[in-house]
Structure 1
Amino acid sequence: MSNDERNLSGDQPQPNGDYFSDQVEREISVTAAKAAAEAARRRAKEAIAAAAEQSRGEKLTIKTNSGWVHGRLEDVDGKFIRSWRGIPFGADTSGPNRFRAPQPVEPWEGIRYCNEFGPVAPQPTYSWHDRIIGSEDCLHLDVVRPDTDEELPVVVYFHGGSFIVGSSHMLMLRGFQLAEAMNVVYVSINFRLGALGYLDLRSLSDDCVANPAVMDQLLALQWVQDNISAFGGDPNSVTAMGESAGGAAVLTLMASPAAKGLFHRAIAQSSPVGMIHSRTQSTWWARELVKRMALPRGSTVDALREAEGADIVRAGQSMMWRNGEILHLNSSYSPTVDGDLIPDHPLEVFARGEQMDIPLLIGTNSDEASFSKFVFQREHIRQRAALRLLASYDEDNAPGVVEAYGGAANRSEFAELLADALFWAPSIRVAQSHALKNSTWMYRFSYASKALRALGLGAMHSMELSNVFGDLSASRASLLLKMGSSEEMEELTVVMQRHWANFIHFGRPGDDWPIYTTSASDAKENKHPAPDAERHGLALQGKPPVHRATMVFDVPHTVVYDPRGERRKAWNDYNMLEWGLGRPDILAKIEFLIEGLSP
């Protein structure tokens, strides 16, 4: 062997070229065979679906008030469901329609093929650039149902996303598995978001409405009443259901007289309903938007109508993240108390018993804000931040609440305080108020995979959706969820879907979930221990009743009475109704602006 040959080979025997060539060819052949087999399976499924669609042509072609729509069959784990994507229920909201009440969609001729999802509402992408996606022609909804002719109860779903992002057809929310597992007609809706939907601009001029997004939701609910029977849904059995901002939308609608009769049960998951805007708060953000748009101070809504919608969304993002108001729990976007559509803060409406008289299922997750464990590095900074968060609403009672969380000095207690301020404490207020009005059930979702627990994240915000919707792979944390017991996830999914389905069909979850009661609700109903006392959380044999039954969803699931009772009591006197009370200088400035706008 020559020196050159030894250097090239490293004194190692060289492989036979023919052998390796054959090996590569075999691997390519195997890969090609797998791809061909997969393509063949896909073509077979498509052929079966096409044949099924042809045979069900009449079932997929539906007459609505606006025109005919034709849907498609979806294959879900070997079962077909019927689906109609992107049905318009409202007209384009751009240009002269921007910031105004939505209008019904113009009727069309012929058959509209609803095979593709409609455009999302304009929203940021949270990427390295400031690209905005979506269209202001976004008022569309999607309908899904089992492939049967049975009349079924209806679920109308309001997506979350902090009132800023989201859509009816996010992968998790398409509802294919939910509709099949719970045997319901599932309707998921789009509505305006961010500065285009959740910002009251009446302080700039009165040529607008205070709550465009809420009006979109009402229009969608009216569409359901007018059209859902054609899809096999029962318009007299409609459950409004939502998570996060969508949960707040549900509770807000329960407090709106305009929504009366449009739905008959409510499910509110992880609702930040305490964040509803006052007129003062809306004025603050309207002026901030004008500033971020680089418009003259005296600009009216007309100037914003002439601007590009994407520029408004970008300006809205800028004002939300760059002025530090999030550290005061001063959210940029939310429904606004306008004295008409939303006559008062929903928590006040519930406290007075003026909300809808319908059954309610409500709850939160154990670790809603676990991400905040990593926000502040030092104890004294966390403590100051905790007081600042709460003092903007109630300066007098904020210290007592913070003290109930050990001063919020360590990471876990700070995260629990933030989660409770946003989600748990307002939900408790709603539950105890509604228990005086109608049947109420409270839950706490505490399940977390081993990976989520190891990372200190626990049962994060929105984690329960994987179990309710029955689609583990659709979660943004699917990899972390899969790093655990699939048997546990399946067990919990079966339990939760059983309770949700029972509530949707009959207005109550399963019999092993006691109703939520308080001493006040017992007194109002003049309740005493009765044959069904165990179901209602009441003790037998003359013992005092046990209140505040809460279903804890974990493996195993269990019922706990008044969980975290001491912390619940710490929130009793805290005023969570109006931002700004602990910031008198800013409040005075904004009140001056409002007075200057008065006739």
Structure 2
Amino acid sequence: MASIDTPHSAGPQVRTTAGVVRGLVDEFPGIRTWRGVPFGASTGGDNRFRAPRRPRPWRGVRDATRFGPVAPQPTYSWTDRVVGAENCLHLDIVRPDTDEQLPVVVYLHGGSFIMGSSHEPMLRGHQFARAVNCVYVSVNFRLGALGYLDLRSIGDDCVANPALRDQLLALQWVQSNIAQFGGDPTSVTLMGESAGGSAVATLMAAPSARGLFHRAIAQSPPLAMVHSRAQSELWARELVYRMALPRQATLRDLRAEHPHDLVRAGQSMMWRGQGFMHLNSTYAPTVDGTLLPSHPLTAFAAGEQAQVPLLLGTNSDEASFSKLFYMRTSARSRAALRLLSAFDSVEAHRVLEAYSGASERGEFAELLADALFWAPSVRLATGHNPLAPTWMYRFDYAPAALRWLGLGAMHSLELSAIFGDPGASRTSGVTRFGGMEGMAELTDRMQYHWGQFIHHGRPGSEWPPYGPPTDDSPARATMVFDDPTRVEYDPKAAQRRAWADFDMTEWGNGVPDLLQQLGLLVGTPPV
């Protein structure tokens, strides 16, 4: 529990709607920060799987100099150790040590919907807040089985998207409180990477989030993983099985279990279910018909998303790790067709042909990366550009060591440049051997463009918007961040056209036997 001390303690004190918080000033690099500030009550006990509630007010001054607990999650280890607590709805605020009113960035962390926190070393934002001159708010929210499973098939006393509702509550908190920290509530940029980037696009498609942010940055959003009804029912049933509960188990039974046991069961679902290789992720936001009325890609195609300026993009080697999958070329090609057919068995062959059958390691990795990240991002940009300004990028830069290992510009590598802290990257153990020429210049360039967008709703003038051809520019301009940086027009045009008619919004369409088992085919009872 956070400590409550006297109003006369040192450190910057700010009154929020729940009470006063006391932060600290770090003279180097010259920032003010408040850590572990509650925006919601505990999500444990009877509150598990339910919509988040506002925090209980407190008296006195709450110590906000220490980070709060992470959401319950597994660890990077060979054991089944779990860390975190269900009292995890808090956020961290960083700003330059000035009294200037500044635009606000609300950041949603990545981590495959199962890991991560607001205060990972890379995401603390000290250098970023100073370089961009903004109030930076990093949000903690529920994860895994506690945040990204739709359990309504077990009982109606729950919500389909706990984590998404946590993020929505955090945005509401920002509107009510950020002015007290010197932030401008009329100039909020919602920003996230990977699972956080997916959350950004999903909140753009959520009517309840309208007006809570005014610009959006989505980095490597895996939108093909947004859950269909088939996935929701499949994984809810699997969680009960992995918890060794009877099939008739209720939400009350699941609420009685220790949260760490639910996390362990959720991990077992991931690794033994092999859903990833069918693009059937265990965890993701769910199309629930209420908070999220339709798939984000469907909403963007229909023009039903928040019409705010959007900056988005992907890395050139997002799935380079998959080069290690499958030893035989025929196995890779079959796996590629299988994962595509789960969505759209009609168009799967056309997509596969654009990657020469995906039988070689590099082609398979490119197909997987494009299926997860690039093709959905192109779909977003294409749907958004007619309604609001849109800019697209591709991050190609990779240190020499990563290129030598065949990993290249792998997933999340761009965070090192955007946050200006390559030493906090998980790849720092490799990059310390050198080959980082041009990284400092690239960091300056990306922070400049991100800063321009955060302050003015557009990046620098040398970055043309994404869209159809004009008298002055060809179509689909994409800023390629590398050494040197350049602009490409309609990159990978052949692959883009191959994806044009592929339905990536409804996993399970190509798996009729599973739909029948779940009772989701018309006229068939569940098995």
- Detail structure 1 runs of 4+ shifted over 6 Å in the superposition: 56-59, 593-598
Alignment of 1:584 with 2:508, yes or no, is: no
Task: Establish whether residue 144 from structure 1 lines up as the match of residue 91 from structure 2.
Answer: no
- The 5 A counterparts of 1:343-362 are 343-362=293-312
Q: What is the distance in 1 between the residues matched to 2:266 and 2:524?
A: 25
- Mapped to 1, the partners of 2:433 and 2:192 lie a distance apart of 27
User: Is contact 1:280–1:591 with CA below 8 Å preserved after alignment?
Assistant: no
2:185 matched residue in structure 1:
235
Could you tell me which residue of structure 2 aligns to residue 311 of structure 1?
261
Asked if 2 retains the 8 angstrom alpha-carbon contact of 1:200 and 1:282, the reply is: yes
Task: Please say if residues 449 and 483 of structure 1, whose CA atoms lie closer than 8 Å, have aligned partners that are also in contact.
Answer: no
**1: distance between equivalents of 2:103 and 2:522?**
45
Contact 1:280 1:594 in 2 (8 A): no
Aligned to 1:564: 492
The change in CA–CA distance for 1:596 and 1:200 in structure 2 (over 3 A counts) is farther
- Structure-2 change in CA distance of 1:290 and 1:564 (3 Å): same
Identity of aligned residues (%): 63
C-alpha separation between the residues in 1 aligned to 2:364 and 2:230? 28
Structure 1 segment 254-269 matched on structure 2, within 5 A: 254-269=204-219
CA offsets 1:500-552 (integer angstroms, 9 cap, x no match): 00000000000000010126xxxxxxxx63xxx4xxxx2xxxxxxx1000000
Rounded to whole Å, the distance in 2 between the matches of 1:486 and 1:84 is 33
Letter in 2 for 1:62: V
Distance (whole Å) between structure 1 residues aligned to residue 404 and residue 78 of structure 2: 29
Look up the equivalent residue of 1:168 and give its one-letter code: S
Identify which of 195, 198, 209 aligns with 1:245. 195
- AA aligned opposite 1:549: A
Question: Once the 2 structures are TM-superposed, how far is the Cα of residue 596 of structure 1 from its aligned partner?
Answer: 9.5
- Once the two structures are TM-superposed, the CA of residue 353 in structure 1 deviates from its matched residue by 0.3
CA distance in 2, matches of 1:134, 1:224: 24
Q: Normalization by structure 1: what TM-score?
A: 0.85
* 1:484 CA displacement: 3.3
User: How far apart are the structure 2 equivalents of 1:517 and 1:252?
Assistant: 22
Aligned partner of 1:549 in structure 2 is: 477
Hey, what's the Cα distance between the residues in 2 that align with 1:323 and 1:594?
Answer: 26
Higher-Rg member (1/2): 1
1:149-207 deviation line (CA, Å, top 9, x unaligned): 00000000000001000000000000000001000000000000001000000000101
Partner Cα separation in structure 2 for residue 503 and residue 236 of structure 1: 15
Aligned residue identity for 1:364: T
Pair 1:271-2:221 in alignment = yes
Q: Contact conserved, 1:90 with 1:139, CA < 8 A, in 2?
A: yes
Matched residue SS, 1:280? helix
- What secondary structure, in the 3-state scheme, does the structure 1 residue paired with 2:406 have? coil
Q: Distance in 2 between matches of 1:101 and 1:151?
A: 32
The residue correspondences of 1:36-185 to structure 2 (distance < 5 A) are 60-75=12-27, 78-185=28-135
* 3-state SS of paired residue (1:551): strand
Separation in 2, partners of 1:288, 1:166: 24
| Alignment gaps of 5+ in structure 1 | 1-55, 520-527, 539-545
TM-superposition CA deviations, 1:66-98 (whole Å, max 9, x none):
0000001224xx432001010011001001000
Map 1:287-326 → 2, pairs under 5 A: 287-326=237-276
Aligned counterpart for 2:449 among listed residues 472, 496, 499:
499
Q: Which residue number in structure 1 is paired with residue 351 of structure 2? A: 401
Equivalent position to 1:380, from 290, 305, 330: 330
TM-score, normalising length from structure 2?
Answer: 0.96
2:343 pairs with 1:415: no
User: Hey, what's the Cα distance between the residues in 1 that align with 2:85 and 2:509?
Assistant: 37
Q: Cα distance, 1:485 vs. partner? A: 4.2
Q: What CA distance in whole angstroms lies between the structure 2 residues aligned with 1:190 and 1:218?
A: 12
Deviations 1:214-242 (A, max 9, x none): 01000000000000000000000000000
1:276 maps to amino acid: V
- Corresponding residue for 2:5? none
Q: 1:58 to 1:504 in 2, by over 3 A?
A: farther
Structure 1 distance, partners of 2:436, 2:298, is 43
How do 1:416-565 residues align onto structure 2 when only pairs under 5 Å count?
416-518=366-468, 529=471, 533=472, 538=473, 546-565=474-493
SS of structure 1 residue aligned to 2:76 = coil
CA distance in 2: counterparts of 1:293 and 1:332, whole angstroms: 15
Q: What is the match of residue 36 of structure 1?
A: none
**Aligned-pair RMSD on alpha carbons?**
1.6
Give the drift of 1:402. Answer: 1.0
Task: Report the Cα distance in structure 2 between the residues aligned to 1:502 and 1:480, rounded to whole angstroms.
Answer: 32
Gaps of 5+ in 2: 1-7
Q: Distance in 2 between matches of 1:284 and 1:493?
A: 43
Q: What secondary structure, in the 3-state scheme, does the structure 1 residue paired with 2:158 have? A: coil
Change in 2 beyond 3 A, CA 1:595/1:64? farther
582-591 vs 440-449, which deviates more? 582-591
After alignment, is 396-405 or 116-125 more displaced? Answer: 396-405
In the other structure, the counterpart of 1:522 is none
Letter aligned with residue 331 of structure 1 = S
The CA distance in 2 between the partners of 1:587 and 1:506, in whole Å, is: 47
Residue of structure 2 equivalent to 1:282: 232
> Residue 192 of structure 1 aligns with which residue?
142
The alpha-carbon distance between structure 1 residues 514 and 112, as it changes in their structure 2 partners (threshold 3 A), is: same
Equivalent position of 2:3 in the other structure: none
SS of equivalent residue, structure 1 residue 226: helix
Write the letter of the residue equivalent to 2:517.
K
Q: Is the 8 A contact 2:416 2:422 kept in 1?
A: yes
- 1:275 and 1:83 map into 2 onto residues whose CA distance is 34
Match of 1:11 in 2: none
Q: Is the Cα–Cα contact under 8 Å of residues 64 and 227 in structure 1 kept in the other structure?
A: yes
Aligned 8 A contact 2:401 2:435 in 1 = no
* C-alpha separation in 1, matches of 2:294 and 2:520: 22
Query: Residue 105 of structure 2 contacts residue 136 of structure 2 at CA under 8 Å; is this kept in 1?
Result: yes
- Aligned partners of 2:226 and 2:311: how far apart in 1? 20
C-alpha distance in structure 1 between counterparts of 2:379 and 2:179, whole Å:
35
For the 8 Å contact 2:512–2:521, the answer to whether it is kept is no
What is the aligned partner in structure 1 of residue 163 from structure 2?
213
- C-alpha distance in 1 between matches for 2:494 and 2:521: 41
2:86 is matched by which residue type in structure 1? E
**Distance in 2 between residues matched to 1:506 and 1:257, nearest whole Å:** 24
Aligned counterpart, 1:542 = none
Contact kept in structure 2, 1:283 and 1:594, CA below 8 Å = no
> 2-side partners of 1:481 and 1:518: how far apart?
39
SS in 2 for 1:73: strand
Counterparts in 2 of 1:594 and 1:466: CA distance versus 1, 3 Å:
farther
Contact 2:230 2:520 in 1 (8 A): no
Measure the CA separation in 1 of the matches of 2:13 and 2:437. Answer: 40
Q: Secondary structure at the match of 2:30?
A: strand
